[in-house]
């Protein structure tokens, strides 16, 4: 392996994960980068982390983002985890092309992981090359930052560095590393890995680490592990409800891609739904529709059950009692999901969350589906309709009597136009625009990616001149297909 240089970068990394859980942390280092070039840097996130953006743009800074420059306080590790992939269990996944550099304490005093994706092969690489291409890493940067701007918990993107290394996919593509920031990289799959070792004390240490980092209130509960399970159930239920409300399709909700923190992670084959249809699937490998838009709440619950299984021995010595506690936590998921979704859907109608809003929301979904309406455009048009101009909304529907009847009952409830405008985004990273921008970037032109990023960072502020960013894909874009592991 190539030597990494040490640097005077005075960044105070900690190694809490590696210190608490050495069994899950394999010391490793990044591959060299023949010609590192910084493609994107997130100045605002750097500031949150107390990192100097100018220093990150320098030689050592770019080296830090690519993994080749390791500050004295850092000691990178590849993390071990397992996972159910499309329902089938893989006992050993882990960071096959990623490294945890260490944790930073942000300006709010919270611990945040700096993690690199595409940093080279590790002992977890299995058949993979350990690398990533420029297009998919820019894609994760743009979509994760768009999600953050939409108010959805997510891992963040600090920057993307092109490595100068060609990577072989269907064609040869330019390689890149994404520097990702998360409140941790603990996954359901991390617990599955720990449980599979048969070492209950390891599971207990992992659960204690998760409580300390994500759900500290659980520590003072009468039953901390049950409180952890409930807190994770609630966090994941809220997350998936928020995905549903913006039309986000994650695409690969394997248990290794579900975090304990409740942050969205791993933007592989994800996409924003355009025409509303619960059966929407984009991923090339999801032929059965397991991770279709409308299945996401059920899948999250299935994944949560896998998490609960790993905690059973910590819940109660009596296995029947442990199982019934776990079942109650699944109940927490269901009620949190329906409450969050109902409140969110009411807000999307500009209404307080009550039975009338709930009924109108369900009816609108039926109308949107029947008329093949674009999810984002359809909801956004409600703002103008509440202000008296219903024509943009009516123009989206085939069933005019249906939408007119709905509109008259909705207007009678006096929807709040300001609430509508701050709840229904005008700009999401639309699939055709993302593809166009990534194609340009792969060919060396970063302008379209930068412009798209600027647009989606302010999703609720409608701005003149940006109409094409608020318009669904043209017919000739065809059916959109996304690919995993790219």
The residues binding ligand AMP (CB under 6 A) are 93-98, 124-125, 128-131, 252, 256-257, 266, 268, 484-485
Of 235, 237, 215, 233, the C-alpha closest to 224 is 215
Which residue, 254 or 377, is less far from ligand AMP as judged by CB? Answer: 254
226 binds, among Mg ion, ligand AMP, none (CB under 5 to 8 A by kind): none
Q: Given 256, 266, 374, 421, which residue is catalytic?
A: 256
Report in angstroms how near the CB of residue 266 gets to Mg ion at its nearest: 4
Task: Count the Cβ atoms, other than its own, within 10 Å of residue 446.
Answer: 17
**Is 256 tagged catalytic?**
yes
Residue 37 contact partner, candidates ligand AMP, Mg ion, none, CB within 5 to 8 A by sort of partner? none
Task: Give the CA distances from residue 238 to residues 151, 153, 335, 342, 343, in Å, rounded to whole numbers and listed in that order.
Answer: 12, 9, 10, 11, 11
- We find the least distance from the C-beta atom of residue 189 to ligand AMP, in angstroms, to be 9
Q: Packing angle between helix 431-442 and helix 134-149, nearest 10 degrees?
A: 140
Region 246-285 residues binding Mg ion, contact defined as CB under 5 A: 257, 266
Q: Which is nearer to ligand AMP, 169 or 223 (CB)?
A: 169
Q: Which of residues 185-224 bind Mg ion (CB under 5 A)?
A: none
Sign of torsion over alpha carbons 219, 221, 222, 223: negative
Q: Which two tokens stand for residue 90?
A: 């893989």
CB of 162: closest distance to ligand AMP in angstroms?
16
Q: How far is CA 457 from CA 146, 179, 399, in A?
A: 6, 18, 34
Q: What's phi and psi for 93, nearest 5 deg?
A: -105, -95
When CB distances are held under 5 to 8 angstroms depending on the partner's kind, the choice from Mg ion, ligand AMP, none that residue 113 binds is: none
Which of ligand AMP, Mg ion, none lies near 268, with the C-beta cut-off 5 to 8 A by kind? ligand AMP
Q: Which is nearer to Mg ion, 103 or 266 (CB)?
A: 266
Minimum CB–partner distance for residue 455 and ligand AMP (Å): 26
Picked from ligand AMP, Mg ion, none, the partner binding residue 292 (CB below 5 to 8 A depending on kind) is none
Q: How far is the CB of 189 from Mg ion (least distance, A)?
A: 8
Strand 69-70, strand 5-6: pairing:
parallel
Q: How far apart are CA 337 and CA 180, in angstroms?
A: 27
Residue number of the CB atom closest to Mg ion: 266
Number of neighbours of residue 52 by Cβ within 10 angstroms: 15
> In whole angstroms, how close is the CB of 271 to ligand AMP at the nearest point?
15
Nearer to Mg ion (CB atom), residue 396 or residue 484: 484
Structure tokens at 469: 């960013």
Question: CB-wise, 28 or 131, nearer to ligand AMP?
Answer: 131
Task: Please say which residue, 208 or 266, places its beta carbon nearer to ligand AMP.
Answer: 266
Helix ranges (DSSP H) in 215-318:
224-246, 296-315
Q: Decide the pairing of beta strands 172-182 and 83-85.
A: unpaired
Q: How many CB atoms sit inside 10 A of residue 122's CB?
A: 24
Name the binder of 48 from ligand AMP, Mg ion, none, CB < 5-8 A by kind. Answer: none
Order of strands across the sheet with 25-27?
25-27, 77-79, 98-105, 111-117, 172-182, 156-168, 37-41
- CA nearest 187: which of 291, 293, 304? 304
Closest residue by beta carbon to ligand AMP? 128
Backbone torsions φ then ψ of 279, nearest 5 degrees: -85, 5
Number of residues that bind Mg ion (CB under 5 A): 2
Residues designated as active site: 256
Which residues contact Mg ion (rule: CB under 5 A)? Answer: 257, 266
């Amino acid at each position: 392996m190539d030597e990494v240089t040490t640097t005077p970068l005075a960044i105070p990394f900690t190694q809490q994960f590696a210190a608490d859980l050495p069994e899950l942390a394999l010391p490793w280092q990044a591959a060299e980068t023949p010609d590192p070039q910084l493609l994107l840097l997130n100045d605002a996130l750097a500031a949150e982390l107390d990192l100097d953006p100018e220093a990150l743009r320098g030689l050592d800074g770019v080296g830090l983002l690519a993994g080749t420059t390791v500050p004295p306080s850092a000691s990178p590790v590849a993390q071990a985890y397992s996972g159910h992939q499309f329902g089938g269990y893989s006992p050993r996944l882990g960071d096959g092309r990623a490294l945890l550099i260490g944790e930073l304490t942000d300006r709010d005093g919270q611990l945040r992981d700096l993690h690199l994706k595409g940093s080279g092969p590790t002992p977890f690489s299995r058949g993979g090359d350990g690398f990533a291409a420029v297009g998919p890493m820019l894609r994760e940067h743009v979509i994760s930052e768009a999600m953050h701007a939409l108010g959805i918990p997510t891992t963040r993107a600090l920057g993307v560095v092109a490595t100068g290394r060609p990577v072989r996919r269907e064609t040869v593509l330019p390689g890149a590393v994404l520097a990702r920031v998360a409140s941790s990289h603990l996954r359901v799959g991390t617990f599955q890995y720990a449980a599979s070792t048969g070492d209950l004390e390891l599971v207990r240490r992992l659960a204690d680490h998760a409580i300390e980092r994500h759900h500290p209130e659980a520590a003072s509960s009468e039953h901390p592990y049950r409180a952890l399970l409930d807190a994770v159930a609630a966090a994941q239920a809220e997350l998936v409800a928020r995905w549903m409300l913006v039309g986000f399709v994650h695409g690969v909700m394997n248990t290794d891609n579900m975090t304990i923190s409740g942050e969205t992670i791993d933007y592989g084959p994800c996409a924003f739904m355009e025409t509303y249809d619960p059966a929407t699937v984009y991923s090339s490998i999801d032929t059965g529709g397991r991770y279709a838009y409308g299945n996401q709440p059920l899948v999250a619950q299935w994944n949560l059950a896998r998490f609960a299984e790993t905690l059973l021995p910590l819940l109660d010595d009596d296995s029947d009692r442990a199982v019934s506690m776990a079942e109650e936590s699944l109940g927490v998921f269901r009620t949190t999901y329906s409450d969050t979704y109902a409140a969110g859907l009411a807000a999307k109608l500009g209404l307080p969350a009550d039975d009338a809003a709930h009924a109108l929301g369900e009816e609108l979904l039926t109308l949107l589906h029947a008329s093949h309406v674009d999810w984002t455009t359809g909801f956004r048009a409600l703002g103008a309709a509440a202000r008296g101009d219903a024509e943009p909304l009516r123009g989206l529907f085939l069933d005019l009597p249906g939408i007119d009847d709905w509109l008259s009952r909705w207007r009678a409830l006096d929807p709040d136009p300001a609430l509508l405008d701050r709840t229904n985004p005008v700009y999401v990273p639309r699939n055709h625009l993302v593809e166009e921008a990534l194609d340009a970037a792969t060919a060396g032109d970063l302008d379209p990616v930068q412009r798209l990023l600027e647009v989606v960072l302010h999703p609720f502020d409608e701005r003149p001149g940006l109409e094409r960013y608020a318009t669904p894909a043209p017919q000739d874009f065809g059916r959109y297909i996304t690919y995993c592991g790219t």
